[in-house]
Amino acid sequence: MLDRRGVEPQISVDTRDRARARLQRRRAITLIVMTLVVPGSAQLVAGDRRLGRFALRVVVTAVVVAVLVGLLALVSRSAAITVVSHRWVLAVLEWALYGFAVLWAILIVDAWRLGRPQDASLRTRRWLAVMTAAALLAPAATAYAGRSVGAVRDAVTTVFASGEAVDAADGRYNILLLGGDSGANRVGTRPDSIQLASVDADTGRAVLFGFSRETEHIRFREGSVMAGLLPEGWTCGDECLLNGLYTWAHENAKRFPAGTADPGVLATREAVEALSGLDVQYYVLVDLKGFRGLIDAVGGLDITVQRRTPIGGGASKVSGYIEPGAQRLDGYHALWYARSRKASTNYERMARQRCVVTALVNQLDPKTVLLNFADIVAATEGVIRTDIPQSALARLADLAVRTKQQPITSVNFVPPLIQPWDYDPEKVRATVARAIAASEDGADEADGSGTTAAPAPAATASPPVAGPTPTPSTPAVMERPGSDPDANTGDLAQVCAAG
């Protein structure tokens, strides 16, 4: 190009070199970015086109499959979960992710090579090396996703049972939630936390019923297994508490029908059915000792501690305290907050356990689960036992999504609502029925607005059912206070906030 005088300007060698270096740097950056956005596109432009076409076919196939699953989820979320939760689908997905992670890493390194870093300056080569290393985080994340999918597949295979799913009873799924403790200095396993979650099969609106471990005078339904084994019921006073049924059943396992998977769970389930008047479809038993690893896996729990809570007590010395106030508790301290008995009643302990479980559920947001999924699954190994079959996972997972979007109403059968050692079972069942009716009415009135259902009216204590008169001084019962510091009914979040 000529200047105004018609003379071609002289461009220095240094200027040409700098311009060439900028173009080369832009080319190298563009190739790496193209590989990140559309794997294989850099090879189509400047490299091995066969490799590029193969990579693009893989990407297009993955996008089409994802779109199809997304469309299926829009039509039927349950059907989509059924597809993606099948163990063979999970196995294929796991290895497909591993394979794509390797392919993507190869493409990124090849894109770096196509940028001809050997011809660039030392500074440019270093900068491109850093950029390439950062780009390799994408296939590393894909490999981690494959690991997480593998963890899901292992959990589906080992935690959940085989067999057919059970239909809802009267439009509701009733799931028995047991919190056991197999820690040191324990003789056998006794479920210290006994709750029944009753969930509307259509709306997902739930009521959580808590039963004191000290509940006595339990008479089983006619025709049940336990009614055949204990015709007079579990009515021997302070020696026959609700949580003691689990141990009794295992000690008398030979008396149960052949093929009974867990006599303790069967006995506890039939006791709760008799108390509540509801049919229980499934159970979930969580070992509170293993709960510690699960909490550590999610990075701890944010809990507002209402009272100074001892660490230790009973068979062990008090080694410290969990102080009042808003705190983030690790697994060790959260477990002690849930299980501590020193200077508190069993009812206070039940309330703390509810708060810990609720805090965990509320804090298991998608981001936390995604970033810690493999650790969460590993932590739950041996912690959870259930008879929920794999065939029911899709339906219950879909229902769980709806449940989490609504407030949960809780009813706790402890003083002053009832005296667990002195109560009218008919009033317990009537309270359960009223709480469910109030929850359903609240769902109808809210019409998706999220309004909390009105709590069930509290029942008053009644004359004791037939059976031996309990002896308050018997060591099997820790305390029999006149009232629970927490409300018996209401929104669970409010109960925990009130502490």
Q: Which residues of the chain have pLDDT under 50?
A: 184-187, 444-499
Whether 431 and 347 share a structural domain: yes
**Burial class of 242 by CB neighbour count within 10 A (0 to 12, 13 to 18, 19+):** buried
Whether 399 and 433 share a structural domain: yes
| Number of domains composing the chain | 2
Is residue 293 domain-resident?
A: yes
| DSSP H stretches of helix in 407-453 | 425-446
pLDDT given at position 149? 87
Range of the domain at 491: 172-212+278-498
Whether 201 and 97 share a structural domain: no
Whether 366 and 400 share a structural domain: yes
Six token digits for residue 157 = 């295979």
> CA angle, corner 177, sides to 171 and 179, nearest 5?
175
Whether 200 and 153 share a structural domain: no
CATH number at residue 327: 3.40.630
Is residue 238 domain-resident?
A: no
pLDDT given at position 24? 73
Whether 150 and 190 share a structural domain: no
CB 211 within 8 A of CB 413: yes
Is residue 472 domain-resident?
A: yes
Whether 442 and 373 share a structural domain: yes
Query: What one-character DSSP code corresponds to residue 485?
Result: S
298 CA to centre of own chain = 10
Is residue 64 domain-resident?
A: yes
Query: What one-character DSSP code corresponds to residue 236?
Result: S
* Helix 288-297 / helix 331-339 crossing angle, nearest 10 deg: 140
Whether 185 and 57 share a structural domain: no
Whether 181 and 59 share a structural domain: no
Whether 207 and 104 share a structural domain: no
Phi and psi of 475, rounded to 5°? -60, -20
pLDDT given at position 454? 36
Which one, of 357, 184, 391, 182, lies nearest residue 281 by Cα? 391
Is residue 123 domain-resident?
A: yes
CB 477 within 8 A of CB 470: yes
Whether 201 and 348 share a structural domain: yes
Is residue 271 domain-resident?
A: no
